Structure 1
């Protein structure tokens, strides 16, 4: 395992490049529409080179979601450090997903969840863990940041509010006309304004 002070090896760099390209392809086309041949063509590698790093597509998918989960954890921790108020944390969270749309993609785990029935079990479990982590974090910050109830009509607990917000964050990516990031962010900002009372 690489230590923070050690430089990445050529193998580490290649594996990360494969993950970068795989993530971009899956975010635009879905898990089942992406092959090792697609990745090899873009990276000017052989499919055997990709299999060296990720023997099966399940291995690739699992590594990809683990990395995505870790990145999300780091970003949420930064929101907690940078913003004391609930509203600012939630707006930063919305902006995170809006940024994915600006880059032309959708949430990796949202895309994978749509393919859940055809995903390898280990990938499906990683995706479920991603959503559980999002919901737990939202529940914690909403619970700490609202003083009178859950802050959203019809919701009786911070977890209820977290589930509504997470569903909106993911679902609005698919339903926003032309997948316009501005419209997406505006819609979710209205929801945030309803939550923060």
Structure 2
């Protein structure tokens, strides 16, 4: 295998670790698995990430950066709150179709055995995702396109819990199970008439 530039190698390591983590969990893969995928020695991975905690933080930080970029894209679109929420549903739906779970689901299950820096990074991601949901729900209430039964923060957590649970369920019952969870959320939020994306994209 030809040598990659240093920055490209680092990105490739994070890419591979990200997919492994979403499918197997943090403790379900090792540097050997990453090295095997990339065709490099484990020493090359240790060079960029001396400990697995360092790699875990890099993976979650990547999710945070990607989510913030995605959020900005949603705010820049000429779309209502309900459409933005549908885009979020589709974002997680991409994981369901690819037999992966959200990184928040991974950390939630394995939290007791995870390095503190990884948990800290995941907590920041959780705050950002919850913030997006809260703002979107409040906007939907103002626009009259959603029925928000109570405090928007509490409902945002309910939506997050439902989608996270739907992703776990999809691993056992297929991505149709995730879609059924979304149908229930749409009914609860008064979004039954909003047109869902024809395909789920990440």
TM-score, structure 1 normalization: 0.87
| Residue 139 (structure 2) pairs with residue 144 (structure 1) | yes
Unaligned runs of 5+ in 1: 1-8
Query: Paired residue for 2:120?
Result: 125
| Residue 153 (structure 2) pairs with residue 159 (structure 1) | yes
Query: Paired residue for 2:67?
Result: 72
How far has the Cα of 1:185 moved from its partner?
Answer: 2.4
The one of 29, 35, 39 aligned to 1:34: 29
Of structures 1 and 2, the one scoring higher in RCO (CA 8 A, sep 6+) is 2
Give the alignment's Cα RMSD to 1 decimal: 1.9
Unaligned runs of 5+ in 2: 192-202
CA distance in 2 between counterparts of 1:66 and 1:167 reads: 21
TM-score, structure 2 normalization: 0.85
- Runs (4 or more) in structure 1 with deviation over 4 Å come to none
Cα 1:100–1:177 change in 2 (3 A) is closer
CA distance in 2 between counterparts of 1:196 and 1:77 reads: 25
| Residue 48 (structure 2) pairs with residue 53 (structure 1) | yes
| Residue 78 (structure 2) pairs with residue 91 (structure 1) | no
How far has the Cα of 1:80 moved from its partner?
Answer: 2.3
Cα 1:40–1:177 change in 2 (3 A) is closer
- 8 Å contact kept, 1:83–1:89: no
